[in-house]
Amino acid sequence: MLDFAILGLLMERPRHGYEIKRSLAQLGFWTVSFGSLYPALRRLDKRSAIEAAEGTGRRKAYAVTGGGRELFASLLAADPDASETDRAFQIRLAFLSQLPQNERSRVLEHRRTKVAAQLKSAREIVIEARSSTQQPDRYRLALMEHAMRSIESDIAWLDGLIASERRVSQTA
């Protein structure tokens, strides 16, 4: 999970820990804690997927190794099965350019199906709550409605991505 993201970032260029943390946050999906980051780096180092390059001073820059590249490629191309996390999808998306066009659509469509299911159940929950005899706490209703709307906006966003994907593949 975190390993996947780290490898992806290191594929572009060597980075040291703190920089990985910053990049992760800038990609808009994660403010990872030090308690996750440094153990992850050691994990990857142990598997020799990464190696410490130029230990200039106290900053340890890490670079991805050959094995690391292979590992990353297999993670990226892996079947985005039903149990894919939100975060896993985001990471996959951030590196989606590295996948051939037809596979990209598959990843997006697959995600759409999953989120559509989430929307269905979120809607049912809201409808149920609104029509309940003893109508629920207003804060909770707000919570449920907001959750529903967030999913709706996720779907709209995904549809935009899918549409632009189709446009690109037609031009090409």
Partner DNA sequence: ACCAATGTATATCGAAACGATATAGAACGC
Partner DNA sequence: GCGTTCTATATCGTTTCGATATACATTGGT
The minimum distance between CB 112 and DNA, in angstroms, equals 19
The minimum distance between CB 135 and DNA, in angstroms, equals 23
Q: Which is nearer to DNA, 88 or 162 (CB)?
A: 88
Q: How far is CA 110 from CA 12, 51, 107, 168, in A?
A: 27, 34, 5, 19
Q: Which is nearer to a copy of itself, 97 or 131 (CB)?
A: 97
Name which position in 42, 140, 166, 167 contacts a copy of itself (CB under 8 A).
Answer: 140
Between helices 101-131 and 86-94, what is the axis angle to 10°? 150
Tokens representing residue 132 in the block: 């309940």
| Residue linked to tokens 């990609």 | 27
Residues that bind DNA (CB under 7 A): 1-3, 16-19, 30, 32-36, 38-43, 57-61, 83, 85
137 binds, among a copy of itself, DNA, none (CB under 5 to 8 A by kind): a copy of itself
Rounded Cα–Cα distance for residues 68 and 76 (Å): 12
Q: Other CB atoms closer than 10 Å to residue 116's CB: what's the count? A: 13
Name which position in 27, 61, 63, 77 contacts a copy of itself (CB under 8 A).
Answer: 27
> Could you give phi then psi for residue 56, rounded to 5 degrees?
-70, 105
The minimum distance between CB 136 and a copy of itself, in angstroms, equals 9
